[in-house]
Structure 1
Amino acid sequence: MEDKALIEATALHVEKLFAGEGSGHDWWHIRRVWKTALAIGEQEGANLTVVQLGALLHDIADWKFHDGNEEAGPQAAMAWLRSLNTPEEIISEVAAIVKEVTFKGAGVENTPSSLEGKVVQDADRLDAIGAIGIGRAFAYGGHKGREMYNPGILPALHDSFEAYKKNQAPTLNHFYEKLFLLKDRMHTQAGKKMAEKRHAHMQAFVQQFLAEWHSEETPPSSFLSV
């Protein structure tokens, strides 16, 4: 199958799987990551076939919805690509992207092993911050039945993927535990530039959220630095 047809078939497959999903990990999230990754990949001189397939399949079987299974995503991506007789070299590169793209905790090193992986990870992380990132964070929190905020539960910087996976904290904690960290973990110049503006939007939102919540009170110190 030609690269263009392979990408088109994958896009249609993923759209059918994720249309109407309500946790913030829907088709539109994947589509945004796909388009952002393509734009960044063009600037970085990456293999655009691998970038696009990696972006389209990066959430194909996310561990968050598969009992914490880190291998579910790579396995699903490989199965789909093999069904289209994709060259094994491309399959292995895409599977690596799917496995390496996810955030694993504040204290966990997680740099993708390829340029294409870095491009897709930057694009995915850009969709986790800014105005859309704020909306997605609260959509996921509601989907999981979590409180928006609880001043008695302070943020934790997880030092292992297992600790991060077990986290059930309120949604606002997620900004401190992940989202505010992403700006400084971008790999590409384009990603770094885009992240600056989106990061500032999140800072302003959280400051306003805390001001409205606490009114005349002072929020706990762990929530003051944004």
Structure 2
Amino acid sequence: MSAFQEKHWYHLFSNKARVLYPSSDPAHDYLHIMRVVSTAKQLCQAEHARWEIVMPAAFFHDYINVPKNDPRRPYASKLSAEAAIEYLKSVQYPEQYFDDIRHAIESHSYSAGIKPETLEARIVQDADRLDSLGAIGIARCFAVTTQLSRPFYAEEDPWAETRELDDKSYGIDHFFSKLFKLVDHLNTPTAKKEGEHRVAFIRTYLDQIKREI
């Protein structure tokens, strides 16, 4: 992809994303998409992957956003992949990339449980998962907690010392039940290194919460 072509598609996709992703969901809004695209580009360069596949997949991995508490959630990535391909057809994006773009979108989701089989799919998955970690990951976690009308922590046992973790009821539980485990499921060496750094930041943050509550 030439620099001119990249600029054209990036501009087109970013304009589409600005309309597509609502600001009412700060965990999955336009800013989330742009962070994933930025991280995906860094990973793409470090791991020598094909940006022609990674870029559109990163922009449109959440094309159809199904709420986390919706029973259709496991199918969201497949719905997004089909919608994204239809859009790419409408703007005449090169068809030779469609199968790999579809797979990258379908396999990015934790809920879908689809293993990424290509380097590009692994990069899109890594970029999306990294946005669940670190400082921005903390903000996103509590944004979702608030959307679902759940308290930040359990009053009697905030750290689940005498109860089972329950991230469907308490925000902080989500760090332990899912987010800390993500770093073990990152695919590329570059993402793993960044993931470890971001997890360390979250642990420091939680140590501060312990002192405050």
- 1:140-219 correspondence to structure 2 within 5 Å: 140-150=144-154, 151=157, 154-155=164-165, 168-213=168-213
- Alpha-carbon distance, 1:3 to partner: 5.0
Residue equivalent to 1:162: none
Q: Whole-Å Cα distance in 1 between the matches of residues 79 and 110 of structure 2?
A: 16
Listed as ranges, the gaps of 5+ residues in structure 1 are 157-166, 214-226
- Please give the secondary structure, in 1, of the residue aligned with 2:172: helix
Tell me the residue number matched to 1:99. 106
Displacement of 1:131 after TM fit?
0.8
Higher RCO, Cα 8 Å, sep 6+ = 1
Counting only pairs closer than 5 Å after superposition, residues 96-135 of structure 1 correspond to structure 2 as 96-104=103-111, 110-135=114-139
Q: What is the TM-score with the length of structure 2 in the denominator?
A: 0.84
Q: Flag the 1:62–1:20 CA change in 2: closer, same or farther, 3 A.
A: closer
Report the alpha carbon displacement of residue 199 of structure 1 after superposing the two structures with TM: 0.6
Contact 1:112 1:118 in 2 (8 A): yes
Separation (CA, whole Å) in 2 of partners of 1:102 and 1:206 = 26
Q: How many residues align?
A: 200
Question: Over aligned residues, Cα RMSD in angstroms?
Answer: 2.3
Counterpart in 2 of 1:161? none
Runs of 4+ in 1 over 4 A off after TM superposition: none
**Cα distance in 1 between the residues matched to 2:82 and 2:119:** 21
2:9 is matched with which residue: 6, 19, 33? 6
8 Å contact from structure 1 (residues 20, 27) kept in 2: yes
- Aligned partners of 1:85 and 1:127: how far apart in 2? 30
SS of 2:67's equivalent in the other structure is: helix
CA distance in 2, matches of 1:116, 1:8: 21
Q: Once the two structures are aligned, what percentage of the paired residues are identical?
A: 29
TM (norm. structure 1) is 0.79
